[in-house]
Amino acid sequence: MRCAERTGRIQALLRRKKIDGLLVSQPENRRYLSGYSALDHGIGESSGCLLIPARGEPRLLTDFRFKLQAEAEADSLSVVLYPKGLPALLKEMLPDLKIRTLGFESEYTLYSFAEKLKVLADKIGVRLVPTTGLVEMLRLIKDENEIERIRAAVALNEQVFAEVYRSLAPGRTEREIALLIESTMRRMGAQSPSFETIVAAGSNSALPHAVPGPVIIEQHRPLMIDMGLILDGYCSDMTRTFVLGAPDDRYLEIHRLVRRAQLAALAAIREGVTAAAVDKIARDIIAEAGHGPAFGHSLGHGVGLAVHEEPRLSARNGKKLRAGMVVTVEPGIYIPGWGGVRLENMVVVREDGCELLNNNTTGLDL
């Protein structure tokens, strides 16, 4: 789907909701609707926003630093700079465009900016409408072109993993391996990691989001690597847990249980099944074996332009999965003092099942 078609859908939605215009500031939403790929470098920094009127041409509002990039990437939009800041530009632009009701993304707008917006809106008689998930709703379902790009991001991530895997050895530290993963990603053409790489050795693998440090990788102990990269704007995310040398019985038992839960969930994914039902299938298998409390996070999440997006595969999400969604399936068991096992693959939801995007099987079936 082209940016113009996506924008057209948002405009139809705005007209239905009787909103005259929408300010899109969330970076992935911005990119999805315009092709403009700049990132925001911190919660208080913005590289611009889209102003989408319910009728008429959308505009990309940004500042001098991003002018050339904006014009090149969002080539079908007019780019307007705000040398005096966004509020000052909106003060002129909203009345010109006859926007009397302005939607903004409430989950991606700082309170301090919303206050400024409110002062300005009151001055020019504009009503502000906080919105949630308007663009995210479209991003939920990937078209085949997006799926191809995600597939490529997964494939490159696996190439990086395979290369790094060959150089793993007892005695190296978590931090060294994380650095090697991230430099290999860049060398092989990734834009960047899609999140902070996790390399967790031994008992550190009991921390689902462990930060790689000076801990030394030992034989016969769990080693968890969770890594992902961004390629062409789209993300990948994969976890492998394994041991160097022969695993002991306890490791084998935990690992096989996690794998069984993962395979059962994968077998259940198809259009029409609820996210909560898929989560429950994996969770029940782990709970029946007595490890319920050790699986404290949800089963998975959507992946696309963002590495964590909707739909969440969680007990709290009663919504049905639909064809074209891309999700991770990543059950885990975490035992303080011992370690943990998480196995994560990505799939595309299809009408009659799901399509596994991963080819890598390192250490999966023991």
Site string for Zn ion, 140-169 (x = CB under 5 A): ------------------------------
- The single residue among 20, 136, 146, 226 that binds Zn ion, judged by CB under 5 A, is 226
DSSP annotation of 320 reads B
Indicate whether 11 belongs to the interface with Zn ion (CB under 5 A): no
Indicate whether 328 belongs to the interface with Zn ion (CB under 5 A): yes
Shorter beta-carbon distance to Zn ion: residue 20 or 158: 158
Shorter beta-carbon distance to Zn ion: residue 11 or 298: 298
Shorter beta-carbon distance to Zn ion: residue 136 or 237: 237
Shorter beta-carbon distance to Zn ion: residue 97 or 140: 140
Helix pair angle (249-268, 275-288), 10° resolution: 160
Indicate whether 28 belongs to the interface with Zn ion (CB under 5 A): no
Please give the Cα distance from 274 to 270 (Å, whole number).
9
Shortest distance, position 167 Cβ to Zn ion, whole Å: 21
Shorter beta-carbon distance to Zn ion: residue 105 or 344: 344
Helix pair angle (86-96, 111-124), 10° resolution: 40
Candidate segments 22-30, 100-108, 174-182, 323-331, binder of Zn ion by CB under 5 A = 323-331
Structure token pair of residue 4: 């113009």
Please give the Cα distance from 204 to 337 (Å, whole number).
8
33 contacts 52 by C-beta, under 8 angstroms? yes
HEC profile for 90-144? HHHHHHHCCCCEEEEEHHHCCHHHHHHHHHHHHHHCCEEEEECCHHHHHHCCCCH
302 contacts 294 by C-beta, under 8 angstroms? no
Shortest distance, position 237 Cβ to Zn ion, whole Å: 4
Indicate whether 279 belongs to the interface with Zn ion (CB under 5 A): no
Shorter beta-carbon distance to Zn ion: residue 105 or 237: 237
Candidate segments 17-25, 37-45, 155-163, 224-232, binder of Zn ion by CB under 5 A = 224-232
From the list 338, 343, 346, the residue with the least C-alpha distance to 366 is: 343
Indicate whether 237 belongs to the interface with Zn ion (CB under 5 A): yes
Q: Which residues bind Zn ion (CB under 5 A)?
A: 226, 237, 239, 328, 344
